[in-house]
Structure 1
Protein backbone atom coordinates (compact mmCIF):
# COMPACT_ATOMS: atom_id res chain seq x y z
CA UNK A 1 0.00 0.00 0.00
CA UNK A 2 2.25 2.80 -1.18
CA UNK A 3 -0.52 5.42 -1.05
CA UNK A 4 -0.25 5.56 2.76
CA UNK A 5 3.50 5.82 3.48
CA UNK A 6 4.01 2.10 2.94
CA UNK A 7 1.78 1.02 5.83
CA UNK A 8 0.46 -2.49 5.28
CA UNK A 9 -0.61 -3.35 8.83
CA UNK A 10 -2.73 -1.83 11.57
CA UNK A 11 0.03 -2.64 14.08
CA UNK A 12 2.26 0.42 13.81
CA UNK A 13 4.28 2.17 16.51
CA UNK A 14 3.23 5.55 17.86
CA UNK A 15 5.18 8.39 19.49
CA UNK A 16 4.18 8.00 23.12
CA UNK A 17 5.86 7.33 26.46
CA UNK A 18 5.87 3.57 25.84
CA UNK A 19 8.56 4.10 23.21
CA UNK A 20 12.11 3.42 24.37
CA UNK A 21 13.32 6.62 22.67
CA UNK A 22 10.66 8.96 24.15
CA UNK A 23 11.28 11.40 26.99
CA UNK A 24 9.34 14.23 28.57
CA UNK A 25 10.02 17.56 26.84
CA UNK A 26 13.46 18.83 27.90
CA UNK A 27 12.55 22.49 28.20
CA UNK A 28 9.98 23.85 30.63
CA UNK A 29 6.70 24.56 28.85
CA UNK A 30 8.08 23.85 25.37
CA UNK A 31 4.53 23.53 24.07
CA UNK A 32 2.73 25.70 26.60
CA UNK A 33 1.87 22.93 29.05
CA UNK A 34 3.85 24.21 32.04
CA UNK A 35 4.16 21.41 34.57
CA UNK A 36 0.72 19.82 34.24
CA UNK A 37 1.99 17.11 31.83
CA UNK A 38 -0.69 17.79 29.24
CA UNK A 39 2.08 18.32 26.70
CA UNK A 40 1.66 17.71 22.97
CA UNK A 41 5.32 17.01 22.14
CA UNK A 42 7.91 14.43 23.21
CA UNK A 43 11.69 14.49 22.91
CA UNK A 44 12.84 11.66 20.63
CA UNK A 45 16.30 10.49 21.72
CA UNK A 46 16.89 8.66 18.44
CA UNK A 47 16.00 11.62 16.19
CA UNK A 48 17.27 14.21 18.70
CA UNK A 49 14.27 16.48 18.15
CA UNK A 50 10.72 17.10 19.33
CA UNK A 51 7.98 14.98 17.78
CA UNK A 52 4.19 15.13 18.02
CA UNK A 53 2.91 12.95 20.85
CA UNK A 54 0.57 10.08 19.81
CA UNK A 55 1.44 10.46 16.11
CA UNK A 56 2.71 7.52 14.06
CA UNK A 57 6.40 6.87 14.80
CA UNK A 58 8.65 9.51 13.22
CA UNK A 59 11.60 7.06 13.30
CA UNK A 60 9.70 4.52 11.19
CA UNK A 61 7.91 6.91 8.83
CA UNK A 62 9.78 10.23 8.91
CA UNK A 63 8.01 13.06 7.14
CA UNK A 64 5.83 10.52 5.28
CA UNK A 65 3.95 9.51 8.41
CA UNK A 66 0.45 8.12 7.79
CA UNK A 67 -2.22 10.79 8.00
CA UNK A 68 -5.99 10.70 8.24
CA UNK A 69 -7.94 11.24 5.05
CA UNK A 70 -10.91 13.15 6.47
Structure 2
Protein backbone atom coordinates (compact mmCIF):
# COMPACT_ATOMS: atom_id res chain seq x y z
CA UNK A 1 0.00 0.00 0.00
CA UNK A 2 1.30 3.42 -0.92
CA UNK A 3 0.62 6.23 1.53
CA UNK A 4 0.99 9.81 0.38
CA UNK A 5 1.29 12.48 3.04
CA UNK A 6 0.94 16.06 1.93
CA UNK A 7 -0.30 19.29 3.31
CA UNK A 8 -3.43 19.48 1.24
CA UNK A 9 -5.31 22.08 3.28
CA UNK A 10 -4.55 25.58 2.08
CA UNK A 11 -5.60 28.84 3.65
CA UNK A 12 -9.05 30.19 2.87
CA UNK A 13 -10.28 27.00 1.24
CA UNK A 14 -13.81 25.78 1.79
CA UNK A 15 -14.43 22.36 3.26
CA UNK A 16 -17.68 20.44 2.97
CA UNK A 17 -18.39 17.78 5.58
CA UNK A 18 -21.20 15.37 4.76
CA UNK A 19 -22.67 13.38 7.64
CA UNK A 20 -25.41 10.82 7.57
CA UNK A 21 -28.21 11.59 9.98
CA UNK A 22 -28.05 8.17 11.61
CA UNK A 23 -26.68 7.24 15.01
CA UNK A 24 -26.44 10.90 15.80
CA UNK A 25 -24.56 10.48 19.10
CA UNK A 26 -21.59 8.98 17.24
CA UNK A 27 -21.65 11.49 14.40
CA UNK A 28 -21.77 14.44 16.79
CA UNK A 29 -18.58 13.28 18.49
CA UNK A 30 -16.82 12.63 15.19
CA UNK A 31 -17.89 15.98 13.81
CA UNK A 32 -16.84 17.94 16.87
CA UNK A 33 -13.42 16.29 16.90
CA UNK A 34 -12.92 16.98 13.20
CA UNK A 35 -13.97 20.62 13.61
CA UNK A 36 -11.57 21.02 16.55
CA UNK A 37 -8.76 19.55 14.47
CA UNK A 38 -9.47 21.88 11.55
CA UNK A 39 -9.54 24.91 13.82
CA UNK A 40 -6.31 23.87 15.56
CA UNK A 41 -4.33 23.94 12.36
CA UNK A 42 -5.61 27.51 11.89
CA UNK A 43 -5.88 27.34 8.15
CA UNK A 44 -9.63 26.91 8.02
CA UNK A 45 -12.05 29.30 9.67
CA UNK A 46 -15.52 28.30 10.75
CA UNK A 47 -17.10 30.42 8.00
CA UNK A 48 -15.35 28.23 5.39
CA UNK A 49 -16.75 24.96 6.75
CA UNK A 50 -20.04 23.68 5.36
CA UNK A 51 -21.75 20.82 7.18
CA UNK A 52 -24.45 18.85 5.38
CA UNK A 53 -26.56 16.25 7.16
CA UNK A 54 -28.26 13.71 4.91
CA UNK A 55 -30.61 10.80 5.40
CA UNK A 56 -29.50 8.49 2.59
CA UNK A 57 -25.90 7.70 1.69
CA UNK A 58 -26.67 7.40 -2.02
CA UNK A 59 -27.06 11.20 -2.05
CA UNK A 60 -23.38 11.78 -1.25
CA UNK A 61 -22.13 11.66 -4.88
CA UNK A 62 -24.96 13.96 -5.95
CA UNK A 63 -24.03 16.53 -3.32
CA UNK A 64 -20.33 16.31 -4.16
CA UNK A 65 -21.07 16.89 -7.85
CA UNK A 66 -23.15 19.97 -7.03
CA UNK A 67 -20.35 21.47 -4.94
CA UNK A 68 -17.76 20.70 -7.61
CA UNK A 69 -19.83 22.57 -10.18
CA UNK A 70 -20.21 25.57 -7.88
CA UNK A 71 -16.52 25.93 -7.04
Question: TM (normalized to structure 2)?
Answer: 0.23
Structure with higher helix content? 2
Greater RCO (CA < 8 Å, at least 6 residues apart): 2
Question: TM (normalized to structure 1)?
Answer: 0.23
